[in-house]
Amino acid sequence: MQIINNPKREDWTTILQRPTQTVVDIEGTVNQIFKEVSEKGDIAVNAFTHRFDGVSLDTNVVSVDEINEAIAQVSEPLKKAILLAKQNIEAFHTAQKTTKVELETTEGVSCWQEKRPIQKVGLYIPGGTAPLFSTVLMLAVPAQIAGCKEIVLCSPPNKEGKLAPEILYAANLCGVTKIIKVGGIQAIAGLTFGTETIPKVYKIFGPGNQFVTVAKQLATKFGVAIDMPAGPSELLVVADESANPSYIASDLLSQAEHGADSQVILVSTSQDIIEKVSDEVEKQLSVLPRRDIAEKAIANSKLIYVDNDDLALELIDEYGPEHFIICSKNEDLYVNGISNAGSIFIGDYTPESAGDYASGTNHTLPTNGFSKAYSGVNLDSFTKSMTFQKISKAGLLNIGESIELMAEAEGLQAHKNAVTIRLKDLK
């Protein structure tokens, strides 16, 4: 990991740059795949699955027999662990329900707002080197609580043309209505346009690699909403001399093992902690099963020393991390002062892994600095707010003249007439 001491403020943007390709590098590939899927449907999807995943499938759709077989393959201890995580995620997201907001803004004018579920949602679950069945829980549980009618899950098949048993078990447990063995750009394209086997949805959720992220952004051009731009994983830890170096190293490596394009950063007010964490990272890295992947991510990562906590907080806000861990005696400064972060983990005994799996918060979070403007997935992500109003005769008499004057001032005569014609009948 690169050690940087007291970087100048004008160098922060360069130092904090993510190790990702630009949209321009990827967009051509994404556009081509979208075009072919929109024109050829499953024929194109299957061709891309063969090309990128190395497998040809008789059907993309997971059968009931495959689900039952998968359920039998998952061990009882893991089923219990998944159930515990589901219960905590369910509890936290159920608590996010809001009641109807209703108000009489003026006499005779009633306005209210209600949340209604998005009817058709698509959940993208990464596969590859680490099939993320935990993401099934993070997306399907709030979708079910919100009341979404169609919950379509897409995930890339392995070389045998199957999905991980844990993914199928979690999907079945959480009420997913259709499971499709398709991944990558072609999955996002399928959910965007619809094919013979992949339903068209109204909103797409889920993390993925840089290609999936750009594909989701392109989907918005075709009238499909997305949760957020969520690309390669990232973690920033802030620590002082009171922190435990081995804990910090384990947290940094927990994100580094996600993928070669992940990024982890330590910001510290202690030179001693930086040196100790650097040593611990090397020690723990040497015995990791996913060492080769983690090493590549660590090469893109940094240990940054700054003089004080106020400066550290400014730098962290500039970065806008997906995950932010606070290991500092001055934790209140960071907890109360942070403006840009996807999810925050406080204290020595709150590893980021807890949020990834079982504490109850959602792990689908904005990356690449998008935490400056986007929230992580929550219950409201699966609903839309609809406003209603009802105006009585007295109410229209109260606000009618104001509407007429405003409409006339904007040059919209028909708008004015819609009120005038009613007011004539009331006077």
Query: Do the annotations mark residue 60 as ligand-binding?
Result: no
Q: Are 305 and 269 a contacting pair, CB within 8 Å?
A: yes
Residue with tokens 């499909």: 224
Instruction: Round to whole Å and give the CA distance between 51 and 356.
Output: 31
Measure the CA–CA gap between 176 and 153, rounded to whole angstroms.
7
Extract the tokens encoding 393: 């005769």
Binding site annotation covers 356? yes
Residue 169 CA to residue 171 CA, distance in Å, equals 6
Is 42 among the annotated ligand-binding positions? no
410 is in an annotated binding site: yes
Q: What DSSP character marks residue 375?
A: P
Using CA atoms of 218, 219, 222, 228 in order, give the dihedral in degrees to the nearest 10. -100
323 is in an annotated binding site: yes
**Per-state percent for the chain, helix, strand, coil, to nearest 5:** 50, 15, 35
413 in a known ligand binding site: no
- Start-to-end CA span in the chain (Å): 78
Active site residues: 322-323
Cα 36 to its chain centre, rounded Å, is 27
Residue 17 known to bind ligand: no
| CA neighbor of 125 nearest in space, from 163, 81, 93, 172 | 163
Q: Looking only at Cα atoms, what is the longest distance across the chain? A: 85
Query: Residue 386 forms beta bridges with which residues?
Result: 114
**Nearest to 388, CA basis, from 107, 103, 99, 97:** 103
To the question of whether residue 124 is assigned a binding role by annotation, the answer is yes
- CA gap 16, 14 in Å, rounded: 6
Q: What is the DSSP string of 225-293?
A: EES----S-EEEEEE-TTS-HHHHHHHHHHHHTT-TT-EEEEEES-HHHHHHHHHHHHHHHTT-TTHHH
233 is in an annotated binding site: yes
On whether 271 is known to bind a ligand per the annotation, the reply is no
Binding residues for NAD(+) are 124, 186, 209
Binding residues for substrate are 233, 255, 258, 323, 356, 410, 415
Binding residues for Zn(2+) are 255, 258, 356, 415
